[in-house]
Amino acid sequence: MNAVVQMFDNAPRSLVEERAIRPPIIGKIRPGIKVLTRNAQGNPDAVRMYNEMVAAGDSYETIGKVIETKLKLRNALVPRNVGHFTCRRSDFSNPDTADEILRLYGEDRGDGLKLHRFPVMFAFDDWLRNVPNQMAAYTTTGRQYFSEYGRDGKRYCKTYAPVERDERAKRVRRSFGGRLVIQRQDDDIPDGICDPHVCPQYQDRKCNLSANFVFAIPDVKGLGLIELPTNSIYVLQKAYSAMQTVSLARGRLTGTRFWLSKKEFDITRIDDNGQAVRQKQMLTVLDADIDLGALLDAGDEPQPALDAANRAVALIEAAGNVEVLTQSFEESEAGEPATDRSMQRGADRIDGADGDDGGLTGQPEPEETLEDKRHRMSDLLNRLGISQPDRQQSFRKYAHVTYGRGWAERPADVDQMNARLAAALDDPVVFDDEMKQANSFV
């Protein structure tokens, strides 16, 4: 994995390397499926064509286009959330790769061989390179607007510059190095700031969160990585928390075997009328078996605990026996009739399991588990800059002196620690002094 990271961190040496280097993608696993709309289900020919093409392994984009073209239907397919991932031959450059993934990790739970849970390994220690994301608006011809962060930390709305025409050659001027990206500035977004609350595209459900998990699957061969799309902010929030937790415990993300699965949760979302609606959703979960409690509770004997945790991780990675550590949330528009806006998102953005609002409006309300409390603590620690080994060790000693051995296994103590860390965001200097004073007693 280190070789992969180094390959994409080298300085440019050619015209090709002047552009941002992205890892090659050899295939896509989708978080759901697509089915015929209610109107299309009333057409026998559409039902027959759908069943035949699904059985043949055609992509849902191909199925939709064929049905719509031959039967003169509009938006024939609609996404549906299911309890498994979709791994189809048509989504891989080498179709046999999909068969290999299902052979290794597929399960038959009474409805055929499906991909319910599978291991992944990330190629980078930077979580954002493993889950690149942005706000994006698509039209039938591709991406129209997209967000990028500036050096000032603000999120800006970007677009492509209009194509210039060469009057002498009577044709468009050629663009070297791809289309020119410029900051959006028009009547709707005069300052160029990406603000979904005032963005007409977002309010019209044309602009949504666009993200992809990018990973390798153990024992699956191929010169490249695999992606899994999502447009849910909850997926990103929980995945970020899980990755930060592992990074805190191990100091890196590469070399850790994570797992992706689907689980059902009760969530609350806001409907078009502004009312809170509670419903069950199959949500994507990213987890990894890391004994965070042992690492945080090392106290005055941190090294044996760290060594033991590293040995445990090595054994787990070799055996592939993992338990759920964290929960991740994503919304669905299952059963919602398709509209014209579905065509405007771009073919590869309709993947069957994510909400069309980008996950930014609904509010999940699951009961917070001990693991969730630890993930929140991990995020607070990172925001306080407690990510270096010496600072982490200082925090372990502070926690051991303050709450005693075994504190990380007691929800009440973890809650108190989270409250203290949240308060420390307003005055980190005082908290650093507290840690130094506690360390003087160890």
DSSP state letters, 360-392: SS-EE-PPP-HHHHHHHHHHHHHHTTTTSHHHH
Q: Which residue has the higher pLDDT, 306 or 172?
A: 172
25-52 in b/e burial notation, b at 16+ Cβ within 10 A?
A: ebbbbbbbbbbbbeebeebeebeebbee
User: Sorting pLDDT into bands at 50, 70 and 90, what band is 367?
Assistant: low
- Stated length of the chain: 442
Rounded to an integer, what is the distance from CA 12 to the centroid of its chain? 28
Tokens of 271: 């409907």
In tens, the pLDDT along 297-309 reads: 654 444 444 444 4
Indicate whether 340 pLDDT > 70: no
Model pLDDT, residue 49: 94
CA–CA dist 302, 8 (Å, integer): 34
User: Sorting pLDDT into bands at 50, 70 and 90, what band is 91?
Assistant: very high
Tokens of 398: 């502070």
The single residue listed with the structure tokens 């706000």 is 135
Tokens of 229: 């799309």
Mean pLDDT, rounded, for 189-199:
92
CA–CA dist 333, 336 (Å, integer): 5
In-domain check, residue 174: yes
Is the pTM for the entire model greater than 0.85? no
CA–CA dist 408, 297 (Å, integer): 6
* Most trustworthy range by pLDDT among 111-125, 163-177, 323-337: 111-125
In-domain check, residue 194: yes
Please state which of the ranges 208-217, 326-335, 343-352 shows the lowest mean pLDDT.
326-335
Mean pLDDT, rounded, for 101-111:
92
Among residues 156, 161, 159, 162, the alpha carbon closest in space to that of 138 is found at 159
Q: Which residue has the higher pLDDT, 392 or 77?
A: 77
Please state which of the ranges 5-9, 24-28, 116-120, 413-417 shows the lowest mean pLDDT.
5-9
Rounded to an integer, what is the distance from CA 18 to the centroid of its chain? 27
Contact 96, 66 (CB under 8 A): no
Indicate whether 44 pLDDT > 60: yes
Q: For residue 249, which phi and psi values (nearest 5 degrees)? A: -75, -40
Rounded to an integer, what is the distance from CA 16 to the centroid of its chain? 28
Mean per-residue pLDDT over the chain, rounded: 78
Exposed / middle / buried, residue 146 (Cβ in 10 Å: 0-12, 13-18, 19+): buried
Among residues 232, 50, 52, 222, the alpha carbon closest in space to that of 131 is found at 232
Contact 236, 134 (CB under 8 A): no
Please state which of the ranges 111-125, 165-179, 211-225 shows the lowest mean pLDDT.
165-179
Rounded alpha-carbon distances, angstroms, from residue 255 to 27, 310, 350, 372: 21, 11, 31, 23
In-domain check, residue 193: yes
- Host H or E run for residue 220: none
Q: Which amino acid is at 307?
A: D
Bridge-based pairing state of the strands 225-230 and 25-28 = parallel
DSSP calls for 170-204: TEEPP-TTSPPEEE--SSSSTT-B--TTT-HHHHT
Contact 73, 36 (CB under 8 A): no
Among residues 109, 118, 110, 192, the alpha carbon closest in space to that of 149 is found at 192
In-domain check, residue 156: yes
Q: For residue 408, which phi and psi values (nearest 5 degrees)? A: -70, -10
Neighbours of 83 (CB within 10 A): 14
In tens, the pLDDT along 281-296 reads: 888 889 887 666 666 6
Give me the number of domains the chain comprises: 1
In-domain check, residue 265: no
Please state which of the ranges 14-23, 225-234, 293-302, 432-441 shows the lowest mean pLDDT.
293-302
Tokens of 327: 């929960």
Neighbours of 6 (CB within 10 A): 9
In-domain check, residue 168: yes
Contact 129, 117 (CB under 8 A): no
Within a 13 Å sphere around the CA of 424, how many CA atoms are in the beta-carbon half? 24
- Host H or E run for residue 300: none
In tens, the pLDDT along 197-208 reads: 999 999 998 999
Contact 382, 353 (CB under 8 A): no
Neighbours of 309 (CB within 10 A): 19
Rounded alpha-carbon distances, angstroms, from residue 383 to 376, 377, 425: 11, 10, 8
Please state which of the ranges 9-23, 131-145, 268-282 shows the lowest mean pLDDT.
9-23
Indicate whether 336 pLDDT > 50: no
- Domain that residue 189 falls in: 135-203
Q: Which residue has the higher pLDDT, 334 or 160?
A: 160
In-domain check, residue 186: yes
In-domain check, residue 181: yes
Indicate whether 96 pLDDT > 60: yes
Q: What whole-number percentage of the chain has pLDDT above 70?
A: 78
Indicate whether 310 pLDDT > 90: no
Longest dimension (CA), the chain: 80
Exposed / middle / buried, residue 389 (Cβ in 10 Å: 0-12, 13-18, 19+): exposed
